[in-house]
Amino acid sequence: MTMKSKNSSISLVVAGALGRMGAEVVKSIAMASDCQLVGAVDTTPGKEGLDVGIELGLGPMGVSLTSDLEACLCMASQQVRDLGPGQGSVLVDFTHPSVVYEHTRAAIAYGVHPVIGTTGLSSDQLKDLSVFAEKACIGSAVIPNFSIGMVLLQQAAAAAASFYDHAELTELHHNQKADAPSGTCIKTAEIIEDLGKSFNHSDVKEEESLSCSRGGLRESGLRLHSIRLPGLVAHQEVMFGSNGETYTLRHDTIDRSAYMPGVLIAVRKVRNLEGLVYGLERLI
């Protein structure tokens, strides 16, 4: 692995570096000429002090794994302290919902720009982080889905919704996913609902002989369906119906590398943001 010049690069700390997403991020940083990995944090037992590149099969990267996020943030902020505005370090976090709020707050407190992929922040936590980021003047990004294709699907769904009164949403994921429906599917529903109309008025009285057969019903009338199977990664379908036609939008994430262009966009833009930005659609 060739070392890149630190002064011309964005200095990055990756939290969750040994996880499925974190490992992809480390790999992308290693290949990006304008990015420099300066810290790798992970709590996997027995990995303290080991070279993250070697652990991920990328060859030596000269960055040791640590479980101490704060020490890593402190080091990263000191390294770029004198480089001036828009030059701070960046934390990319793909860890666990139980720690993401503390990680984001700590990054802002240390003057490190957070790019947060970990899901699970509540709307109150988001509001609190938004106020904190603005007070601290630290550009921050919370991106619940880094897929550019998903942003395009949501934009197309919003455009189609004004022409259709009937729509159903289906999200399909691997069977290790604990929550349903997915946050991204809920977001798609919310984007469609921004039009302020209701959907799926029915002339018949529907009855389910097996409960939940018709999916989850939202106040707007939209119905959400969740499928969990091994073999799936992350997929979403929005199906509109009208007399004599259906219109189906579908997005398939086949591999986690699909998220990396979105991650790099956020990494390259976050230092120049004012306050906290939520959602990739605000960055592209």
Binding site for ligand NAD (CB under 6 A): 15-16, 18-22, 41-44, 69, 94-97, 99, 117-120, 143-146, 259
64 bridge partner residues? 51
Q: Is the dihedral of CA 208, 210, 211, 216 positive or negative?
A: negative
In the complex, minimum distance from the CB of residue 212 to ligand NAD, in angstroms, rounded to a whole number: 23
Residue with Cβ nearer ligand NAD (120 or 215): 120
Element (H, E) at 265: helix 260-269
In the complex, minimum distance from the CB of residue 234 to ligand NAD, in angstroms, rounded to a whole number: 7
Residue with Cβ nearer ligand NAD (25 or 189): 25
In the complex, minimum distance from the CB of residue 69 to ligand NAD, in angstroms, rounded to a whole number: 6
In the complex, minimum distance from the CB of residue 117 to ligand NAD, in angstroms, rounded to a whole number: 4
Of the residues 113, 173, 225, 251, only one is catalytic, namely: 173
Q: Catalytic site residue 177?
A: yes
CB contact at 8 A, 14 and 23: no
Q: What CA–CA distance (Å, rounded) separates 280 from 261?
A: 11
Whose tokens are 């029915």? That residue is 202
- In the bound state, the residue with its beta carbon closest to ligand NAD is 19
CB contact at 8 A, 94 and 16: yes
What are the C-alpha distances in Å from 261 to residues 104, 148, 186, 235? 22, 8, 23, 18
How would you classify the pairing of strands 216-217 and 223-228? antiparallel
Of the residues 177, 187, 235, 269, only one is catalytic, namely: 177
Residue with Cβ nearer ligand NAD (30 or 142): 142
DSSP-derived 3-state class of residue 281: helix
Residue with Cβ nearer ligand NAD (21 or 276): 21
Where in the sequence numbering do the catalytic residues fall?
A: 173, 177
